[in-house]
């Protein structure tokens, strides 16, 4: 059956309407979870608010387990879904750069859009920065072209690389997430006692 649009079950004409609707749901969940606030987001790095970890890890384990069931019941052809390609070194370098951007800016792209929506100037400035950053990247791209395409492993999954079934990764990730939920709950309690700059 699924994916519906690539399999022609829903016409591609609906693509942009669906994009808008899924985006609205995405933005709603991000904002309602508190991600329109940079101070909520970076709390994950200083221990005073682990909402990012809770939402993110829960989402990943729900989606991982969900995909396994969808595949098992034959609802979704996992061979037809897009698997993000792996370019080893540029992806690690890019993530390190993003990590700096995350701690400095307090947003990631999606959350900054929801921050603009509720009137945060810092969200708007972050988004302007994104635009400038991608422009700068496109200008310096010729210098880094070889690096950009280096370390290509293909559109591989964890199972393709290790030979271990996906279910084991979902299981391991669930255990890690549950442990992280518990540990961070304890850390958060302790850190919050000593922080006065932030209202909970």
* Residue with token string 């942009």: 16
Smallest separation, CB 190 to another protein (Å):
14
Cα 117 to Cα 123: distance, rounded to the nearest angstrom: 9
Cα 72 to Cα 56: distance, rounded to the nearest angstrom: 24
Position 100 contacts another protein (CB under 8 A): yes
Task: Return the number of other C-beta atoms located less than 10 Å from residue 180's C-beta.
Answer: 14
Cα 78 to Cα 143: distance, rounded to the nearest angstrom: 37
Position 190 contacts another protein (CB under 8 A): no
Position 80 contacts another protein (CB under 8 A): yes
Which 116-175 residues touch another protein, going by CB under 8 A?
116-139, 141-142, 144-145, 148, 153, 155-161, 166, 169
Choosing from 13, 74, 115, 171, the residue that interacts with another protein (CB under 8 A) is 115
Triad 128, 30, 172: Cα angle to 5°? 115
String of contacts with another protein for each residue 19-58, x by CB under 8 A: xxxxxxxxxxxxxxxx-xxxxx-x-xxx-x--x--xxxxx
Position 180 contacts another protein (CB under 8 A): no
């Amino acid at each position: 059956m699924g994916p519906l649009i690539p399999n022609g079950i829903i016409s591609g004409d609906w693509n942009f309407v669906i994009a808008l609707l899924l985006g609205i749901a995405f933005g709603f969940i991000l904002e309602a979870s508190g991600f329109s606030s940079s101070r909520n987001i970076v709390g994950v790095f200083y221990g005073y608010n682990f909402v990012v970890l809770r939402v993110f890890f829960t989402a990943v384990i729900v989606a991982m387990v969900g995909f396994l069931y969808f595949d098992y019941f034959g609802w979704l052809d996992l061979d037809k879904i897009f698997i993000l390609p792996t370019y080893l070194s540029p992806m690690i370098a890019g993530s390190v750069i993003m990590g700096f951007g995350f701690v400095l800016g307090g947003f990631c792209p999606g959350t900054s859009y929801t921050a603009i929506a509720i009137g945060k100037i810092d969200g708007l400035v972050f988004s302007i920065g994104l635009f400038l950053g991608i422009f700068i990247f496109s200008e310096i791209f010729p210098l880094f072209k070889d690096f950009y395409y280096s370390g290509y492993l293909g559109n591989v999954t964890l199972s393709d690389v290790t030979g271990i079934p996906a279910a084991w990764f979902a299981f391991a990730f669930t255990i890690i997430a549950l442990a992280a939920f518990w540990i961070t709950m304890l850390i958060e309690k302790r850190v919050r006692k000593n922080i006065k700059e932030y209202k909970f």
